[in-house]
Amino acid sequence: MSKKKILVVDDEPFILRSLSFVLRREGFDVDEARNGDEALEAIRATRPNLVLLDVMMPKKNGYEVLSEVKSDPELRTTYIIMLTAKGQEADRIKGMELGVDEYMTKPFSPMKIVERAKAVLLATPSPQAPT
């Protein structure tokens, strides 16, 4: 079985580095994006098994990225966990309406993210690679 691919999307360098580090240490293939445009480009190019997506980012926010991915027939099965400091119920509802698979509120433990990634990726079949 090939390594499961995870895309970590966050404009905060410390979060990006720490999540990428712990996920790589656990054996995942990890790519990074620092804004919404980079995220969409990476999702289309690499078809990750899981996207850890921040909400508040430059260029396109997480909701915009989520909406584009979930409305694209070729990408809509991409599993997305939104990571956000916005814990208000209205924000959670907005994410759910746009099709987010899970919502995690900052601050969070990187090991909690690893646990969720393992649970999701062991239960999720790999998407087809782009042709």
Percent of the chain clearing pLDDT 70 (strictly above):
91
* pTM confidence score: 0.89
Number of domains comprising the chain: 1
The DSSP annotation for 26-95 comes to TT-EEEEESSHHHHHHHHHHH--SEEEEESS-SSS-HHHHHHHHHHSTTTTT-EEEEEES---HHHHHHH
DSSP reduced 3-state for 5: strand
Range of the domain at 33: 5-123
Query: pLDDT of 54-97, one tens digit each?
Result: 998 989 999 999 999 999 999 999 999 998 876 677 888 888 89
Assigned domain for 95 exists: yes
Q: Quick check: is 59 in a domain?
A: yes
| Distance from C-alpha of 49 to C-alpha of 126, rounded to nearest angstrom | 6
Which range, of 29-33, 45-49, 121-125, averages the lowest pLDDT?
121-125
Domain membership of residue 130 (yes or no) is: no
Which contacts (CB < 8 Å, 24+ apart) does range 19-27 have?
19/52, 19/110, 19/113, 21/110, 22/110, 22/111, 22/113, 22/114, 23/113, 23/114, 23/117, 26/114, 26/117, 26/118, 27/3
CATH number of the structural domain spanning residue 79: 3.40.50.2300
